Amino acid sequence: MPRIAYVNGRYVVHAQASVHIEDRGYQFADGVYEVCEVARGHIVDMPRHLARLKRSLKELSIAWPVSEGVLPMLLREVVGRNGVVNGLVYVQVTRGVASREFVFPAAGTRSALVITARKADPALAAKRAETGIKVITVPENRWDRVDIKSTGLLPNVLAKQKAKEAGAQEAWFVDTDGNVKEGGSSNAWIVTRDGVLVTRPAEHGILRGITRTTLFDVAAKLGLKIEERGFSVAEAKAAREAFISSATTIAMPVVEIDGAPIANGHPGSMTLSLRQAFFDVAEKSPA
């Protein structure tokens, strides 16, 4: 079965799918996106992801590419046509195709919509969670609207490449006060010596991760305490546990920060409990 992508109203073979060279996403990164996890045949937290997409579009004055109510159906269709039971579905909306001028194109220019889906092996993620991941820290060098899920991800690309070259799997952006902001494609968490979950407030300077939001629900169910506050790299290195969250990693233990092991260098039990309970608590839309 060939992979199928949805591109501006058409279902096309993924390998042959293309967009116009004057798509503003291609030329200016003038677009936004969402990634939802697909697990056991369900799209995870789809309403929350689509609500954030709506916010991103509004913040950038990009028009809906299709009527809002149709999008869940399109996501399901792309997941179904690709036979994805476990994996992810990706949605991207750009300001559309127009002659290359910085200012917005003429009113009525249709925004462009691409939806793809990809299979992933849950056994591989489970295996990774057993050993945990390593992170490096990098100075924050992004713009201050990272609350918008924009496709402009060059600093994230460079930070994650740097992590890879250092033998790590994620890079944490650190602000000028020495506090951790978030990862290149994830939110950052620690568990204090007293067993309190700590993550930076999402009001400013980070993306309000959907997994982060749902982990608040999971923590409430498990009776765990959360403090929303900044934490420094030094505090993270001295923490009982550290982990990242994102739609594709859920809660993934961090066992090393800049080469320093966290606690005994093994995944933390609270992180693994959150990971374990996540699917039950998350909202599941049958694909």
Q: Which residues are catalytic?
A: 149
Which of 7, 74, 247, 251 is in the footprint of ligand PMP by CB under 6 A?
A: 247
Nearer to ligand PMP, 140 or 256 (CB): 140
| Min dist. Cβ of residue 174 to ligand PMP (A) | 14
Under rule CB under 6 A, residue 209 binds ligand PMP = yes
How many Å apart are CA 72 and CA 78, to the nearest integer?
Answer: 10
> Does residue 160 belong to the site contacting ligand PMP (CB under 6 A)?
no
For residue 7, the 8-state DSSP code is: E
Q: Is 107 helix (H, G, I), strand (E, B) or coil?
A: coil
CB of 222 to ligand PMP, least distance (A): 18
Count of residues touching ligand PMP (by CB under 6 A)? 13
Strands (E), the chain: 4-7, 10-13, 31-39, 42-44, 87-94, 112-119, 133-139, 170-174, 180-183, 187-191, 197-199, 226-228, 241-246, 250-257, 260-261, 284-286
Contact status: 163 vs ligand PMP (CB under 6 A)? no
Q: Half-sphere exposure of residue 112, counting CA atoms within 13 Å on the CB side?
A: 20
- Rounded Cα gap, residues 187 and 256, in angstroms: 16
Binding ligand PMP (rule: CB under 6 A), the pick from 174, 211, 218, 287 is: 211
Report 32-91 residues binding ligand PMP (CB under 6 A): 35
Nearer to ligand PMP among residue 94 and residue 249 (C-beta): 249
Q: Which residue from 23, 140, 170, 182 is in contact with ligand PMP, where contact means CB under 6 A?
A: 182
